[in-house]
Structure 1
Amino acid sequence: MEREELLEIMRQSTYKPLTAQELVEELQIEDIATFLSLLRELEMEGEVILTRKHKYGLPERMGLVSGRIQGHMKGFAFLLPSQPGHPDVYIAQEELNGALHNDRVVVRLHPPKGRGQRPEGEVIRILKRANETIVGTFDRGKKYGFVVPDDSRLATDIFVAAEDAGNARHGDKVVVAITRWPEGRRNPEGRIIEVLGQANKPGVDVLSIVRKYGLPEEFPGEVLAEAASLPETVLQEEREGRADLTRVKTVTIDGADAKDLDDAISIEAIGEEGLRLMVHIADVSHYVKEGSLLDQEAFNRGTSVYLVDRVIPMLPPKLSNGICSLNAGEERLAMTVIMELNREGKVNSYEITPSVIKVDRRMTYDDLRSILEDETPELTEKYRDFLPEFKMMADLAKKLYRRRLKRGAVDCNFPEFKVILDEQGKPAAIEKRSRTIAESIIEEFMLLTNE
């Protein structure tokens, strides 16, 4: 039986809470083990409630609501219900009953105080803890200490006995593992498992973010071994069935510090009235097969994470910076969208094809902007063989932008800011980065490709 099917049965007005055995008999379940596992899963998620009489029912039929706690620095919290459309529930500090920010809980609703008043409630069950470890600053005393969480929504300090403090010093940024959850007026207790360094030391703040969100810095050995087995260059047999576009003029356009170059652009005139635009996307799926260790690791990571002083990649560097990066002068496998347009930016035809490409130039946004807007002599001379293509790209991007606005597009042109670090890793400046024609070229071409 599927979960939605079971929940739909429980939503019926005629349903009365039943024990697991009664449900098995009533629904004539054959695979009892799988059904019991489903019940436990739904209970842990708060979708169903197991009563004191060991009967299963829906929380909304019992005056209960399940969801996630959103803490507040002043101590109170709100329940963000799992049930769509249900309003948030206010929970006073004394009625959290040990629940912390982001915990999944079940809340009993209080009788409404009046029409239009926000619902209030009390935590009666904690389904899943969200903070097995917490990052904070250690406040050390003579016989014990406290860890003050970085996240102000965790509105309670963690008590650390002297024997559980290790070599942490006063003012250190630390990671503390919870050994005892809060009860009544009693603070949670913990053991320091990692000292990140003094709070004001360069790089410690970024490392704190890495630990807070559990970002994986290293790849498992078996994942690296699978990556190591992949070729470093395009093999002859991999070219079969792919369009050979290695002789087509191709450039990448990215930030100066970018290393994982996953898209490239080609453009050429077709007679007097037309253009051929090619957008090449690195064919990662050729190397990362579904279900492989690399695929599972990438799925778990979800995305590459860009921090102020480092990148935590979704794939090992051999792929992200190597065979799956469209590096200049190297043949690479790609998926290419070939579009034929008129001079006003209307697409007349397109095709999508696996390809082999070879990037000729690795352009940066700043250099391309200097060429197109400032006509900087040194850069203009350096890239003179590509000037016609750059000008075609800029002209086409402007026309595509105007066409989008006419169709009702919303222009979210917000400035971005980049933190510049000195040699010691301390912030030295904050640069405002506005969108220029160089960024617009990539934005417009990617939007067109997705359309």
Structure 2
Amino acid sequence: MNEFEKQKHFLMDVFKSQAYIPMKKKDLEILLDVPKDKRAEFAMVLDELVGQGQVEITKRGKYQIPENRPKFIKTKDHRSKKPTKAEQASKKQSLNAVAKKANQPKYDNIEPDIIGRFISHKDGFGFIEVEGQEEDYFVGRDNTGFAMQDDIVAAVLTFGAPGKRQEAKVIRIITHGFSDVVGTYEKSENFGFVIADSQKLGRDIFIPAGRDLNAVTGHKVVCHIDDYGDDSHKPEGHITEILGHKNDPGVDILSIIRSFGIETEFPDKVIKQASTVAKPVSEADMAGRNDIRDLCVITIDGEDTKDIDDGVSLVKDGDNYVLGVHIADVTNYVQESSALDVEALKRGTSVYLADRVIPMLPHTLSNGMCSLNEGEDRLALSCIMTFNPKGELVDHEICESVIHSNHRMTYTDVYAMMTGDEDTRAKYSDIAEMIDEMAQLSKILRAKRKKRGAIDFDFPETHILIDENGKVVGLAPYERNDAHKLIEDFMLAANETVAEHFQLMESPFVYRVHGAPDPEKMQTLGRFLGACGYALKGKTDNIHPMEIQKMLESLAGHEDEAVITKMTLRSMQQAKYDTECKGHFGLAAKYYCHFTSPIRRYPDLQIHRIIKDHLRGRMNERKISHYESILPEVAMQTSKLERRAEDCEREVDKLKMVQFMKDFIGEEFNGTISSITGWGMYVELENTVEGLVHVSTLYDDHYEFIEENLTLVGERTGRIFKLGQPVRVILDSVDEQARTIDFILDEFKRF
């Protein structure tokens, strides 16, 4: 059976499902998550089903099994007959029951105005996000139809006053966004409840007797939802996994990990396969590769890094710099469609948390045979680039190679060498001259990138220090020095070179793209800057990154620098993966991809396969067709998984900061207003912890939120709170469940 026939059979199963509600093609595409580049093919499948008479289109353009098609039921004498009107009514009643069980209002053929993803708020209301639309739709508490986070819903519009956010009412839930919930179990005599960690669920989940895996009160559990409930009863489910007691070390972070659907363990089949393929480099492995083991290659990473993807080398050719960026050849061990590959794509990326790393590949590979460990022969893909003294690329070669890492360097040691530390330079005397030349080239490449307009958002990062019991013992700044920038400059150069090479070849590929900012967001930023006494030159509907770069540089050392830099970053689009080379706005780069981290990012692994197919002469029409069919889904899925990993990392950081701050309740701190909303102002402390001063605690006046310049203005006193303003606050409370911190201004402590 070919792919086309498989799709027909799959769609017929959907149409025949008792829970299926007739819907239009666009709604089906959303329900079944059909990629944009597959929608023409999807339409052809639908057309053939209609042409064959298996499916019909109603007057309203909805697809369904033909109503006049004989529907047979078995009788005792095995004869068949057409259902009576009563039986048809019973069938419709069954559909209504299915709809009710799925939290849907009664099926009454109401035509929806919009279909989109529901985003719930802990206070009961929500929003509907519609694909391709910038503005979402507000849904009041009484109009949610019991929709939950990430449900795909159909809704009708209920309000549309000029200048106000459009409101909507959910009329049915097409499909639920999740089926598993992480929470805390509370046991009663004959049943129990799971109190979900997520504030967005809103309701406890009933666990019948015998379906609790013998969990006890206080256990953190994973619960599968069997019935989503309605206005007369709670959701109902059963426990599938016990993570441990809520007070056990590490269970708090594990609960967050599992709430995002991230698996911490690999399937046995994947572990076994990793052990099987992780063999030492042999002569057979080296066949057909460039043997450059005599080249001095070093790796530069953090002290704790164990998955080392990249090594670098540098030699001078007259005045030119010959830079080698050597990347672990992970594809030699992870074959396409293997168990390892399927699992890697399922994960998309490694996840780096405060107390652990959840790798994309098993440690046997990520920390072992794929890691460019010191003193070991390793298979690699090398991008060897020749730059002239102006930083212009004059030649390059991309090849399969065998390398041998001479030194496992840290950023600390390299920076010490760059700044003249004699002891460190003596310790690594064999590479001291190479480090000096690398520092020269790094500065040249950075200056060239800056000249074309690349933006450098250099935010101070915080390193959360955790002991063996999971307790936060401190927050330390994580500084980015010139050694970090050196590696960044070299990796960027390789990523751009590889992207340009394969774009000019017109090969199927996966690019890293970053679109220009939305003009409306730029207009908002421009108004805010104007209110602060600054200006953003250029047209907001077609701004060049250089104008943003110049504006940020003009703020260097100014008290508003951090706030405006954050505001600017929030105005940017998110970078993502794409099969089209659309450029990278933030880097002011025409060509860009992710080539340098195949141990921890799937897109890098994917393009390594493409590169090797070209190098080995295997990129024929069949291969091209294959890549063109799979890459759009790879790009879309890995972009989503990247967001998931970032969200998980952010939630863990928030939790650990809340836990750290709970020992300081009642103490005073200096802070800066980092964000202002209608419900209050967020204040960031010097240790980067952020908390809310709720508008209700500003006792001296009633404050109005002025959205245009992001200020809170007192109606009677005219007092103004603005971004970047220093304030003195008292830590009032923390909430580990919600992962929030609340401050009050110290001047109101007497209230």
SS in 2 for 1:328: coil
State the partner residue of 1:320: 366
State the partner residue of 1:97: 145
Q: Could you tell me whether the CA contact under 8 Å between 1:275 and 1:340 is conserved in 2? A: yes
SS in 1 for 2:475: strand
| Higher strand residue share | 1
Taking the aligned partners of 1:30 and 1:93, their CA distance within structure 2 comes to 40
State the partner residue of 1:210: 257
Residues 1:389 and 2:438 are matched in the alignment: no
SS in 2 for 1:229: helix
Q: Aligned ranges for residues 262-411 of structure 1 at < 5 Å?
A: 262-271=309-318, 273-373=319-419, 375-411=420-456
How many percent of aligned residue pairs carry the same amino acid?
39
State the partner residue of 1:87: 135
Cα distance change of structure 1 residues 288 and 389 upon mapping to structure 2, 3 Å threshold = same
Cα distance change of structure 1 residues 418 and 326 upon mapping to structure 2, 3 Å threshold = same
| Paired residue type of 1:316 | P
Q: Aligned ranges for residues 19-418 of structure 1 at < 5 Å?
A: 27=47, 62-82=111-131, 84-85=132-133, 87-110=135-158, 112-140=159-187, 145-161=192-208, 163-271=210-318, 273-373=319-419, 375-418=420-463
| Paired residue type of 1:70 | I
State the partner residue of 1:427: 472
Q: Could you tell me whether the CA contact under 8 Å between 2:225 and 2:236 is conserved in 1? A: yes
Runs of 4+ more than 6 Å apart:
51-55
| Paired residue type of 1:71 | S
| Paired residue type of 1:105 | V
| Paired residue type of 1:419 | I
Taking the aligned partners of 1:53 and 1:152, their CA distance within structure 2 comes to 43
Cα-to-partner distance string for 1:364-408 (whole Å, 9 max, x where unaligned): 1122222222x4444222211111111111121122111111111
- Report how far residue 231 of structure 1 moved: 4.6
With the length of structure 2 as denominator, give the TM-score of the two structures. 0.51
Cα distance change of structure 1 residues 347 and 116 upon mapping to structure 2, 3 Å threshold = same
Cα distance change of structure 1 residues 391 and 49 upon mapping to structure 2, 3 Å threshold = farther
Cα-to-partner distance string for 1:94-150 (whole Å, 9 max, x where unaligned): 32223211112222333x353343222222222222231211233455665543322
Taking the aligned partners of 1:343 and 1:426, their CA distance within structure 2 comes to 50
Structure 1 stretches lacking a partner, 5+ long: 11-22, 41-47, 56-60
- Report how far residue 222 of structure 1 moved: 2.4
With the length of structure 1 as denominator, give the TM-score of the two structures. 0.83
Taking the aligned partners of 1:62 and 1:144, their CA distance within structure 2 comes to 41
Taking the aligned partners of 1:95 and 1:207, their CA distance within structure 2 comes to 34
Q: Could you tell me whether the CA contact under 8 Å between 1:78 and 1:90 is conserved in 2? A: yes
State the partner residue of 2:713: none
- Report how far residue 164 of structure 1 moved: 4.3
Q: Could you tell me whether the CA contact under 8 Å between 1:101 and 1:130 is conserved in 2? A: yes
Cα distance change of structure 1 residues 304 and 113 upon mapping to structure 2, 3 Å threshold = closer
State the partner residue of 2:88: none
| Higher helix residue share | 2
User: Which range is displaced more, 91-100 or 329-338?
Assistant: 91-100
SS in 1 for 2:440: helix
Q: How many pairs were matched up?
A: 416
Taking the aligned partners of 2:231 and 2:274, their CA distance within structure 1 comes to 50
Taking the aligned partners of 1:130 and 1:425, their CA distance within structure 2 comes to 31
Taking the aligned partners of 1:279 and 1:288, their CA distance within structure 2 comes to 21
Cα-to-partner distance string for 1:2-28 (whole Å, 9 max, x where unaligned): 99xx959x9xxxxxxxxxxxx99x956
| Paired residue type of 1:77 | G
Cα-to-partner distance string for 1:21-71 (whole Å, 9 max, x where unaligned): xx99x95659859x86xx99xxxxxxx85589979xxxxx94431111100
Cα distance change of structure 1 residues 88 and 140 upon mapping to structure 2, 3 Å threshold = same
